[in-house]
Structure 1
Amino acid sequence: MSQENNSAEPDIYPENEECPGEDPLVFGDELELNQFDGLPFSSRYYKLLKERKTLPVWKVRCEFEDALVNNQLIVVSGTAKTGRSTQIPQWCAEFCLSAQYQHGMVVCTQTNRQQAVDLALRVADEMDVNIGHEVGYTITLETCCSSDTVLRYCTDDMLLREMMSDPFLEHYGVIIIDQAHERTVSTDILLGLLKDILLQRPELRVVVLAVPPMTDKLLGHYVGVPLISLEDSCSAEVVHSNSGNKDYFYSALRLVLEIHRTKEDGDIVVFFASAGEVYCAHSILQRERTRLGVELGQMVPVVLCPGQGGLLPSLTEQPDSRGSRKVFLSNQQGEDMWWAAESVNFVIDTGVQKKMVYNPRIRANSEVLQTISQFQADVRKRLSGPTGKCFCLYPEDSQLPAERSPQILESNITSTVLFLKRMEIGGLGQCDFIDRPDPEGLMQALEELDYLAALDDDGNLSEIGIIMSEIPLDPQMAKSLLASCEFDCVSEMLTIAAMLSAPSCFLEPPAGMTHEAVQCHRKFQHPEGDHFTLINIYNAFKQSQREQYFSAEKWCQDYYLDHSALKTAEAIRSELTDTLNRIELPISEPSFGTKTNTHNIKRTLLAGFFMQIARDVDGSGNYFILTHKHMAQVHPFSSYGAQSHKLGLPEWVIFHEYTLSENNCMRTVSEISPQVFIQMAPLYFFYNLPPSESKNILQDMLDPDGSRNCKEQRAAPDSSDTDSGCAAVPQTYDRCVIQ
């Protein structure tokens, strides 16, 4: 900081030389010491410093530092390639150092794991310190920090979880919310809660980094805060398609091959609509690369899908061989992650994205194809720099929405509501959302928490709800894990929870190998259903690790299983075990395979997922979902899907996931007994199920005498399973009032 702002403690960091009135502190013969670790600067530090001073953000350094001294909250407007995500956190670290860290350290949030790691590595290099010491990062299942860490990058959801034990984030003197324009649920909650935290902590500083039009929205939300605007990097040459191209997928692939044949230097980035398209494109390009002439050089397709689990390959890696060209294949998420991809010279933008939009009425996601926002389009145009080219596979006059829709308006917010209820206990007031969640989604979330016994009669968190909020799982799975302590199947439930939280362990088989892959997967199938199959796979994976003469990675390859996904599941299971130990919940010994254990696992699953029950209404796999009366089929990859012709399908099932799309499939399905469902489901949930033939069958089991008296009044059930049922519902079981 400048001496006029903090004359008692002059800044000795040499890079401050451009701010007037500041002189670096020199030791001996121009020996300059790094004030963060006390060691002399290396030659690389000065080389990087010269590069940093060319960044657009450097022009506003003094303005930013003055604003940081005089304001609690600052909004910075600028794209990723302006240097905002690397330089501003360093200046904030100097600000905290000037106060001897009396008010805490610096934390900078990111919306994806890879960028948090890449930025931490880059900034540690620029600050000339060791990663994991003065600069560190925290992402899901991985922490690289120490007691010496003064600047930490982390994902936004990890900072939220940190608030469970530190509601006012008193460990930090400066909080930087990067990529606010991505509008993730976690970032929006942080922006809402920080407004209240700033009132409680006048010494705290908050810096929000975003791009227009999000910056305008932030200025309206936080009244009277300064805005610092950065010069945008120049856009590349932009080439638009002359007509609306519905065949964008194959047009993009043809364009990749055309660019490669020109032999122009530079890597290529292609933005597809979904992860499924990315993997399909990767398979096609892998096949096509073998047909290209040697004189064209090697073309290396690389999958980059943020949010698909695991860390992505580094964007700054050198090509595999001289003359090779990387083709990065990505979906719509996290355009900002390309800040380090200096080798990119071509961008192909399909202009569309597939999103999962949650419908609270049916408690399910719907897959929606829509155009990208204008700000996403603008970011993509700048990725290749002023010398590159951006090919937009849509007309120049296309009407794109101005900004990305907030995820909090399109997601299941039950976990969010559980977290906010926990924050109320910690002393935080209401979350002042930039865009308030839909009232229907909010009521559905409160109703679901009430069904799960997470709320008391006053609408506050119950004791069960408090424990559920400690477990880093969605509320339904957290409730099931709690129930497993009662039913002595904790070990098995930990495995199920970990496998369902990790990416899918099933690999997409190469062309022509589908039958072999199905045969390999069939070896793990369990007659009781997919949840049990996942336990078989995990146990077999652990066994392969114990076999010293056999490589676990090779074992996964032989059985068409994803080694990285199983390693992620292993790490998640370990974290969940640590959580249960920390909150002193009992962990029973594994007894998988016994009849009692199988029965207990099903009861445990029903304790959390009783809202996800379906019945085969005609014996041919047409399942009627009781909560919203939609019809669905079992996913072809399910063990039931593979063996339906041999063994037949169960009448009643519990499922983990249902998506409203072209095939309306249920994923991860296991057989259950309707009697056990009645036993485990809360009665006030059961009596609020919509009328249907399936509900009548259950009601006959629950109250056969009472049901017999109504039978004559019922209409005959039809094939759609929408019989109106008996109108007389006991008054005791009316829908409970959500406070």
Structure 2
Amino acid sequence: MAESCVSEDDHTGTDLCVIPHVVDGSEEAFGFGDDLELNQFDGLPYSSRYYKLLTERKSLSVWKVRCEFLDLLVNNQLVIISGTTKTGKSSQIPQWCAEFCLSAQFQHGMVVCTQIHRQQAVELALRVADEMDVNIGHEVGYSIPLETCCSSDTVLRYCTDDVLLREMMSDPMLEHYGAIILDQAHERTVSTDLLLGLLKEILAQRPELRVVVLSAPPAADHLLGHYGTAVPLLRLESLNTAEVVHSSGSHKDYFYPALRLVLEIHRTREEGDIAVFLASAQEAECAYGILCKEGARLSGGLGQLVPVALHPGRLGVLPCTAEEQPHSRRVFLSHSQAEDMFWAVDSLNFVIDTGMERKYVYNPRVRAYAEVMRPISRCQADIRKQLTRPGGKCFCLYPEETKLPAVSAPQLLQSSIVPTVLFLKRMEVACLGHCDFINRPDPESLMQALEELDYLAALDNDGNLSEIGIIMSEFPLDPQMAKSLLASCEFDCVSEVVTIAAMLAAPSCFLEPPVGMATEAMQCHLKFQHPEGDHFTLINIYNTFKQSQREPYFSPEKWCQDYFLCYEALQTAGAIRSELMDILRRLELPISEPAFGTKTNTLNVKRALLAGFFMQIARDVDGSGTYFMLSNKHVAQVHPLSSYGAKAHKLGLPEWLFFHEYTLSENNCIRTVSQISPEVFIQMAPQYFFYNLPSSESKDILQHIMDHEGSGNCKNKKQTSQAITSATQTDCPEPQSYDRCVIQ
């Protein structure tokens, strides 16, 4: 098919690409913009802003390949686009795909474009709606976790990759879409890798579907090697050229040199904002506090220095522009996986790249994450060098001869794949279980994931997804927490366990106190602490927060500030909790009335949590707080911010506890812990899990309890849902008042 680009009338001056209009097997010429007086998507006249933005769009490097891209889209199911952040691919390619689907009158579906960050999905949707001259939430919308802004009129939707992946559980062939764009494929998130693998099979069954993969070089070449040389690869030219300056100093000594360089640049009075890429979000927040103090000490004649923490962990939107704050210079503090968040920042004149990243890598043998400091990839380094405006400078705080890996390591190989295996088992139910991974998971990780799902009763005797496993996959939670949530329905403690699940799924509600106020913050947090453990402390915090929202003439934001708590995190927890409750109602599962504060409820919450977290049990072996973990025979300390870490001198440390998180580091720590009795553990743990525990003194103690006190429920326990049902039949104390911590 020959495609032509012709100049339209003098009214707009845009280029027209004519592609076939296919309806019921016949082709006719379809010209985009044949009558540019009217918007082809809503039928209304274009506004003057549309033409202004159109001029800006035509200056993007991606615009040079518009006709070539549309030609490739017509003749190929899969197209790979290689380009950096400032080329405009994330905003323009989805619009052209919408035009392609419009040419078929959307009979094959609408357009969806994935992002890895929720904030970026929203920002791009807003920008593209503006460029297309339509209303956000109508022709252009977005879907991110806990928030959807779409309608029946939506033809182009931005969403996070995990949102699209979960859609596949109800629409395995993604038949709602005629074109799917996977953006930021070079980041190799777990969700994007799964989509890349599953879409390969979907394309074979849906010849009308179009998939466009947006990536950065050299990761695009790596993708091409996976899909084959027959797949077209379209390379975009970068228009930004920065002067690159490398450091001759140590690669590891970067934090304070980077901040000193920021101040030196500011003193030169050269115009332009600064972007600093550090190793982690924690370093970005620390740098933010330091620069706020140093900026206040600078001479007023230098102009205001405005630090901005811009990274995925930050809630909120981009700050105001330099025009709104005259005589100021913004310093964006960021880290890995945040390069694409600078797509809308046109004022960068300086980039400071430390060349390091701090990642958490999962070790399946001990079921724990280890903190690893390592160099960034060459792909990330190249993206950062091209973020400045023309003529800018990029300071690389590492020697030029430093060897960087070509691409980022896939998150699939660095994360627990238990949720991934549960999802793929769910896809097998829909006859779409084959996933052609770009990098296959390690066999050891796969076996550990299957074993864990088996322990959780998510698999049947044939290794297929059980009924419990199907229900577990409905929840956007870790499988262990999903199993605990199901158990709470049996133990009549749904309200409390849903609150715990929401608080653990949301960002941490505890704010890092300002310098010099650590003691005051700890005293505030002590008021919420529950004697039974951290899980119950989270319930106390959430319940008190919700109560503060109901008080008239009372500001929840001020309340959170006074108690060193994060208002946005608690708001997010509330939204997650509402979503989980909606899923429970949709599945018609029993929801009990809240009963927090009774001993019966406390015991039942522990039982429900142990139904999912029986693999994370530890025992204090010497009375000093050195906990031995039964599953892996490692030892760790309780995190200092835990209820027991802060109140050990008052309450004493429990001998047995279960924990939510274990991190390998110089000082191994277990976080979010609550005390249990060994009898409750024996009651809830599947027998074959117990007998597979490695030999230890702690296991011998449990065996002794089973031999002398365990009978009935404990000995005949099975790993299926019968474990939950039989446990509810155990005699419990009568409900009575429980002395719990409350805010006075």
TM-score w.r.t. structure 1 length? 0.92
1:263 maps to 2:269: yes
Aligned equivalents of 1:184, 1:23: Cα separation in 2: 38
Kept in 1, the 8 Å contact 2:610–2:684? The answer is: yes
- Corresponding residue for residue 548 of structure 1: 552
1:276 maps to 2:282: yes
Kept in 2, the 8 Å contact 1:78–1:231? The answer is: yes
Name the amino acid aligned to 1:351. Answer: G
Displacement of 1:293? 1.1
Aligned equivalents of 1:553, 1:637: Cα separation in 2: 23
Aligned equivalents of 1:314, 1:272: Cα separation in 2: 19
Kept in 1, the 8 Å contact 2:240–2:387? The answer is: no
Aligned equivalents of 1:409, 1:500: Cα separation in 2: 24
Aligned equivalents of 2:31, 2:469: Cα separation in 1: 56
Displacement of 1:313? 2.3
1:249 maps to 2:255: yes
1:347 maps to 2:347: no
Displacement of 1:213? 2.2
Match of 2:681 among 662, 677, 699: 677
Match of 2:311 among 285, 305, 309: 305
Kept in 2, the 8 Å contact 1:175–1:206? The answer is: yes
1:285 maps to 2:283: no
Displacement of 1:220? 2.0
Displacement of 1:579? 0.8
Name the amino acid aligned to 2:125. Answer: A
1:65 maps to 2:65: no
**CA displacement 1:309-357 (0-9 Å, x = unmatched):** 63x4226645662111111111212311211111111111110000000
Match of 1:596 among 600, 612, 615: 600
Structure 2 residue matching 1:264: 3-state secondary structure = coil
1:610 maps to 2:608: no
Q: How does 1:215-226 map to 2 (within 5 A)?
A: 215-223=220-228, 224-226=230-232
1:334 maps to 2:338: yes
**CA displacement 1:214-260 (0-9 Å, x = unmatched):** 22222222221111111123331111101224321110111111111
Displacement of 1:17? 2.7
Structure 2 residue matching 1:247: 3-state secondary structure = coil
Name the amino acid aligned to 1:225. Answer: V
Stretch moving more, 322-331 or 560-569: 322-331
Displacement of 1:529? 0.3
Match of 1:686 among 677, 690, 705: 690
Structure 2 residue matching 1:206: 3-state secondary structure = strand
Structure 1 residue matching 2:15: 3-state secondary structure = helix
Name the amino acid aligned to 1:344. Answer: L
Kept in 2, the 8 Å contact 1:356–1:365? The answer is: yes
Displacement of 1:437? 0.6
- Corresponding residue for residue 727 of structure 2: none
Q: How does 1:24-103 map to 2 (within 5 A)?
A: 32-103=37-108
CA, structure 1 residues 14+629, in 2 after alignment: closer, same or farther (shift >3 Å)? farther
Displacement of 1:54? 1.3
Name the amino acid aligned to 1:271. Answer: F
Match of 2:15 among 11, 14, 17: 17
**CA displacement 1:159-208 (0-9 Å, x = unmatched):** 00010100000000000011111000000000000000001111100011
CA, structure 1 residues 334+432, in 2 after alignment: closer, same or farther (shift >3 Å)? same
What runs of 5+ residues in structure 2 fail to find an aligned partner?
19-28, 720-744
**CA displacement 1:23-80 (0-9 Å, x = unmatched):** 66666xxx70001010100111111111111111111111111111111111111112
Displacement of 1:278? 1.1
Q: How does 1:265-664 map to 2 (within 5 A)?
A: 265-306=271-312, 308=313, 310=315, 312-314=316-318, 317-318=321-322, 321-664=325-668
Aligned equivalents of 2:281, 2:266: Cα separation in 1: 23
Aligned equivalents of 1:598, 1:177: Cα separation in 2: 45
Q: How well do the aligned residues superpose, as a CA RMSD in angstroms? A: 2.2
Aligned equivalents of 1:366, 1:352: Cα separation in 2: 16
Kept in 2, the 8 Å contact 1:15–1:49? The answer is: no
CA, structure 1 residues 623+24, in 2 after alignment: closer, same or farther (shift >3 Å)? closer
Kept in 1, the 8 Å contact 2:3–2:71? The answer is: no
Aligned equivalents of 1:345, 1:600: Cα separation in 2: 58
Aligned equivalents of 1:657, 1:537: Cα separation in 2: 20
Kept in 2, the 8 Å contact 1:683–1:733? The answer is: yes
Displacement of 1:19? 3.7
Kept in 1, the 8 Å contact 2:61–2:88? The answer is: yes
Displacement of 1:498? 0.4
Kept in 2, the 8 Å contact 1:16–1:24? The answer is: no
Kept in 2, the 8 Å contact 1:309–1:503? The answer is: no
Structure 1 residue matching 2:80: 3-state secondary structure = strand
Stretch moving more, 317-326 or 256-265: 317-326
Kept in 2, the 8 Å contact 1:2–1:22? The answer is: no
Aligned equivalents of 1:532, 1:274: Cα separation in 2: 30
CA, structure 1 residues 381+156, in 2 after alignment: closer, same or farther (shift >3 Å)? same
Match of 1:236 among 238, 242, 262: 242
Displacement of 1:662? 1.8
CA, structure 1 residues 705+539, in 2 after alignment: closer, same or farther (shift >3 Å)? closer
- Sequence identity, in percent? 73
Name the amino acid aligned to 1:95. Answer: F
Name the amino acid aligned to 1:269. Answer: A
Stretch moving more, 221-230 or 146-155: 221-230
Displacement of 1:733? 11
**CA displacement 1:701-735 (0-9 Å, x = unmatched):** 112499xxxxxxxxxxxxxxxxxxxxxxx9x999x
Name the amino acid aligned to 1:84. Answer: K
- Corresponding residue for residue 722 of structure 1: none
- Corresponding residue for residue 131 of structure 1: 136
Aligned equivalents of 2:517, 2:163: Cα separation in 1: 40
Name the amino acid aligned to 1:17. Answer: D
Stretch moving more, 263-272 or 608-617: 263-272
1:179 maps to 2:181: no
Name the amino acid aligned to 1:136. Answer: G
Stretch moving more, 355-364 or 381-390: 381-390
Displacement of 1:272? 0.8
Name the amino acid aligned to 2:255. Answer: F
Equivalenced residues, count: 701
Displacement of 1:429? 3.7
Structure 2 residue matching 1:279: 3-state secondary structure = helix
Name the amino acid aligned to 1:92. Answer: C
Aligned equivalents of 1:25, 1:430: Cα separation in 2: 42
Aligned equivalents of 1:543, 1:317: Cα separation in 2: 38
Structure 2 residue matching 1:367: 3-state secondary structure = strand
Displacement of 1:440? 0.6
